[in-house]
Structure 1
């Protein structure tokens, strides 16, 4: 049996494109929400969960890191996708006829310039490809959608304008997760990312001291997110991505020091850094 990849959205969405690139021989399981994606893997209906976690223009995908931390799944790979949105509408529609444009909230946020230029009303949908499907079903020439390039052909729509995103360096990072994904053995010449969750002790300057563990050992943090626990304003957890493998001496020392100032440290995954990271350093 082939591997099943669960993602949020409908066929033609950006997650579907990433799934095809990362796991080309796999079957897919489209889901309505990110929670459904993770639940599908936890329940054995899918083998891999593919989740977008952050966008270079719109920032983090809301609530995803908290879902990832509580899912019990482990991260084992990352990917980066340059995001392109086309303005799509019914065949024969002109851009002057459009009154309302719909898409996922993140897509609307990434296409503000053209929306404001034309004074369009916006409607939020569950995902970008689903917005294109809705346009096809509505049959209203005054309605359009911001959708991935594959969606127009899939749903029989015209492209009124290509690449309408505000920033053409617009890129989304995706993580792949599974049940019990093993930590990869450290290989010389391979760059790694380690994702961690930690909760600091309730002592003065605990976060400062915890983060100092990385600084004093020369370990680079590429991401840090915080969120409250159980509705409390006092108990916080922190999600971090660091460069390096836990078996590297500097990383091992940093994690040992981090544990001293933390009530909990949990490894969420270790995976090879995507080549796109190196490209960012040279651009």
Structure 2
């Protein structure tokens, strides 16, 4: 073993020891965070941080690396402070729409103790996570009837976030009106374009005029604020309760099995903890482009099949700014973070013009 290999081995062994010590330190930080939350103490303790830096730098005997250690310690303190803040204040969860939107409902189910931040659109929520303003975003990726939510799928392909969980949210559309409004009073129905489309039969049968809104909850809010008995919104039960609206008709969907899949998007590629009834039922997502030659896509799919991964879906999307060019996204059953999964990704990387491992996730209950 030469000197380089010997010292690389030392680094690997040291990193392993440091991982255990880091976990021990963060567990202590968690306990301190619980104490601070109970007694209303601030997360940042400037004097304590100064004392740590002054005391711990003395442990370094080599003056040449002392300042590097101080920077390392400052970063460790910063990470600990951010972790405590998140534990005390809850995760900042972005969603598109306003309180009561289906994305808001999904976010509360996925992350019960989060701080929910309403964003004006998908892009604002997604970019906010990328730049560190939010911890994660809960955004729709697919509807059982309307298919994929193209804008979100495109953001995932072009951006830097990963999918770490998916929830299947049943979509039950109801006709909501102001207090005392009856079905015979309604002339105009407002909602998100997709909700209007999913209730087209009911709307047609009653000859309602329609008006599109940014989301279902925003439409319900507009009905509440307008106070007009002739205008109704299509939205959820939760939204009716939130704005004090009457449910004039329940479940007016053309398809009563309507479901939307919402994804948790975050900056880290981290496999989530499996629910008790979901262990071993992971799914994974890949996005890729293939080289412009005959058989390239077939070769890609053959590699996936050869590694024993069953494809749940394969779709293509046009690439933004590149006319008649497409990227593909595929969902497979199984965990691609395993050694075999990583081997497969390595093989695909040599074949694909671009490849992104989007994440491994569990699909949480309806």
Using structure 2 for the length normalisation, give the TM-score.
0.70
The worse-fitting range, judged by mean Cα deviation, of 234-243 and 209-218 is 209-218
Tell me what 1:232 maps to: 322
The separation in 2 between residues aligned to 1:269 and 1:246, in whole angstroms, is 8
Offset at residue 21 of structure 1 (A): 1.0
Q: 1:163 to 1:185 in 2, by over 3 A?
A: closer
Does 198-207 or 253-262 show the bigger shift?
A: 253-262
The correspondence for 1:89, drawn from 177, 200, 213, is 177
CA contact (8 A) 1:86 1:163 kept: yes
Q: Which has the higher strand share?
A: 1
Taking structure 1 as reference, are residues 152 and 196 closer, same or farther at Cα in structure 2, changes over 3 Å only?
same
1:215 offset after TM fit, Å? 3.1
Kindly report which structure 2 residues correspond to 1:118-197, keeping only aligned pairs within 5 A, or say none. 118-183=206-271, 189-197=279-287
Change (3 A) 1:273 1:18: closer
Worse-matched range after superposition: 87-96 or 243-252? 243-252
Provide the aligned length of Structure 1 versus Structure 2. Answer: 276
Instruction: Report the equivalent of 1:223.
Output: 313
- 1:249 CA displacement: 6.5
Identify the residue that residue 73 of structure 1 maps to in structure 2: 161
Aligned 8 A contact 2:291 2:353 in 1:
yes
Work out which of the residue numbers 186, 199, 202 in structure 2 matches 1:98.
186
Does structure 1 conserve the Cα–Cα contact (< 8 Å) formed by 2:186 and 2:230? yes
Q: How does 1:21-100 map to 2 (within 5 A)?
A: 21-100=109-188
| Contact kept in structure 1, 2:100 and 2:238, CA below 8 Å | yes
Contact 1:198 1:265 (8 Å CA) reproduced: yes
Which one is further off, 261-270 or 26-35? 261-270
* TM-align CA RMSD: 2.3
Q: How far apart, in 1, do the equivalents of 2:292 and 2:194 lie? A: 36
Distance 2:262 2:273 in 1: 22
Cα deviation code 1:222-247 (max 9, x no counterpart): 22232233432343211211111124
1:207 counterpart (297, 322, 345):
297
Q: Structure 1's 70 and 142: CA in aligned 2 closer, same or farther, altered over 3 A? A: same
Q: What corresponds to 1:280 in structure 2?
A: none
Report which structure shows greater RCO (CA 8 Å, sep ≥6): 1
After superposing the two structures, state which structure 1 stretch, 134-143 or 177-186, moved more.
177-186
Map of 2:204 onto structure 1 = 116
CA gap 1:45/1:209 in 2 versus in 1, 3 angstroms: same
From the CA coordinates, give the structure whose radius of gyration is larger. Answer: 2
Of the structure 1 ranges 235-244 and 97-106, higher mean CA displacement relative to structure 2 is found in: 235-244
User: 1:236-270 CA distances to partner (integer Å, 9 max, x unpaired)?
Assistant: 21121111112456645643443343112211112
Give the Cα separation in 1 of the matches to 2:133 and 2:328. Answer: 30
> Partner of 1:231: helix, strand, or coil?
coil
Conserved? CA contact 1:86–1:164, under 8 Å: yes
Gaps of 5+ in 1: 277-283
